[in-house]
Amino acid sequence: MTKLTIATQPIAGQKPGTSGLRKKTPVFMGPHYLENFVQAIFDVVGCAGKTFVLGGDGRYFNDRAAQVILRMAAANGAARVIVGQGAVLSTPAASHLIRLNKTDGGIIMSASHNPGGPKEDFGVKFNMPNGGPAPEGVTEAMYKRTTEISEYHIWESQDVDLGKIGRQSLGGMIVEVVDPVTDYAMLMESLFDFKAIAAMFSGGFRMRMDSMCAVTGPYAVEILENRLGAAKGTVVNAVPLPDFGGMHPDPNPTWAHALMDEMFGQNPPDFGAASDGDGDRNMVVGAGIYVSPSDSLAVLAANAHLAPGYAKGIAGVARSMPTSAAADRVAKAMGLECFETPTGWKFFGNLLDAGRVTICGEESFGTGSDHVREKDGLWAVLLWLNILAVRKQSVAQILAEHWAKFGRNYYSRHDFEAIETAKADAMMAELRGSLAGLAGREIEGMQIAAADDFAYTDPVDGSVSKAQGVRIMFADGSRIVLRLSGTGTEGATLRLYLERYSAGPQGLDLDPQQALAPVIRAAHTLAAIATHTGRSEPDVIT
């Protein structure tokens, strides 16, 4: 074995976004591409004598990239790397291992819910010792390093056998291969009443969990089928595949349509759920009823105390700004602090670390708690199961009671994808320019109360994030939010978030798109979406 120092040159565009560096797989497989970025990570966070966690969602190139990262960690002097068997770890499981082993952070290989395969997406991100995604200051430093890099270090050696659990040595560095599921499953057992959930399953409760040929398959089979006794076959698409079997592992009604068909078909199971490529997102569905992520967050916050891990009550709730205010109503009723943060999980990290909140969520199918520092798909599924087991009601009954008590925030997100960037920017600029004159105006029969461009001051460290999305608030509690996606790979994606509040007791069971019709019209008029982009219909509705 020889330690090599390879001369390299900066490669343009290695700028990590909120979820790390994401590119097409062939780009990542190009000469020095992965190596340059990994060296930039080590140069910024330091490597000598350190311990890291390594794993990914199992997508195409995951196994090869892991070998490169291990050889580079060894050559940069790392003491130990804890790797999921087969180089696989779900994102929440990686976050947990970082915290459990008090490591110096971890490298996660994933492009989340984006398709995988030789022509699809790949990604690498660094998580901090608290288990959460690197903050902007750190990712900026990594990016800067990629623009000046001139060499990287790597061992020339055979592959490490990542199929074999246990300790091996690579150039003096310990490679510790661990079962990807065991520690995570134990964490879940410590939070939830497995006995009560198992009793519900043995009493005939039926569930369908769609792992979408992505990373949660082995986790869901072990926890739901093996430990909780759900019927064999409860978990479908349970074997992770390098190309996710051609699926788009994004758990929403559009991409998880097979699950939706089953849950709205004849004799549906009692409960359905799906998760994404790396296991941090979730969608939950009852028999014949869809649970919007914003409502899911509110129901989980209102009922978390029914699970042993949260029996003492929760400290507070945080939601991303575009997420509906359903959770705010729960927080208010329970006398809890409630925070509205910009889009992106990293904004929850400080609040969780400071113990200000216990439960967080985003409208984009992300929910989680202070047990890790990532959103966690299976955690949300298990908390729902715990609640169902204790309340002994259907999902539909739980939602109906929730709305009767708190009122209902009708909610929907309309995505307009692959818009020409210049056109999307022009539309947002014009809208931002008009905000000052909007308050007091009436549009489509609705009275505008206030309008702004959302800015956030972190209550813990005082940092300020500006221009996080345009908000138009109406006198009746309705709301429109517009922002451009920060994760899209093709042109610009306009996200239009629509919300309307109904206090009840009447009008709690309308179709959301119908309930939102005036709000949708107002949004199109205000932002002149069709005039600017040529689009009048969204590509994806969630």
CB of 137 to Zn ion, least distance (A): 23
At a CB cut-off of 8 Å and minimum separation 6, what does 172 contact? 74
Residue with nearest beta carbon to Zn ion = 112
- Among residues 211 and 343, whose Cβ is nearest to ligand G1P? 343
Q: Closest Cα partner for 156 from 1, 347, 370, 360?
A: 1
Give the range of 6-14, 267-275, 439-447, 484-492 binding ligand G1P by CB under 6 A.
484-492
Binder of residue 276, out of Zn ion, ligand G1P, none (CB less than 5 to 8 A by kind): Zn ion
- Among residues 211 and 364, whose Cβ is nearest to ligand G1P? 364
Calculate the CA dihedral of residues 64, 65, 70, 71 and round it to 10 degrees.
Answer: 70
Phi and psi torsions of 485, nearest 5°: -60, 145
Per CB under 6 A, does 345 bind ligand G1P?
A: yes
Residue 292 is a catalytic residue: no
Distance from the Cα of residue 256 to its chain's centroid: 16
Per CB under 6 A, does 409 bind ligand G1P?
A: no
Cα distances (angstroms) measured from residue 20 to each of 23, 89, 105, 445:
10, 16, 14, 43
- Among residues 214 and 398, whose Cβ is nearest to ligand G1P? 214
Task: Output DSSP code: residue 281.
Answer: B
At a CB cut-off of 8 Å and minimum separation 6, what does 255 contact? 113, 212, 247, 248, 249
Distance from the Cα of residue 46 to its chain's centroid: 27
Per CB under 6 A, does 343 bind ligand G1P?
A: yes
Catalytic residue of the set 19, 90, 110, 112 = 112
Total residues binding Zn ion (CB under 5 A): 5
Per CB under 5 A, does 280 bind Zn ion?
A: yes
Residue 364 CA to residue 483 CA, distance in Å, equals: 13
CB of 439 to Zn ion, least distance (A): 37
Q: Which of residues 93-122 bind Zn ion (CB under 5 A)?
A: 112
**What amino acid is encoded at 147 in this protein?**
T
Give the range of 136-144, 226-234, 459-467, 483-491 binding ligand G1P by CB under 6 A.
483-491
Give the range of 114-122, 271-279, 324-332, 450-458 binding Zn ion by CB under 5 A.
271-279
Tokens standing for residue 143:
């990016």
- Among residues 152 and 365, whose Cβ is nearest to ligand G1P? 365
Per CB under 5 A, does 276 bind Zn ion?
A: yes
Q: Closest Cα partner for 208 from 183, 184, 168, 237?
A: 237
Choosing from 58, 344, 368, 407, the residue that interacts with ligand G1P (CB under 6 A) is 344
Per CB under 6 A, does 112 bind ligand G1P?
A: yes
Binding site for Zn ion (CB under 5 A): 112, 276, 278, 280-281
The catalytic residue positions are: 112
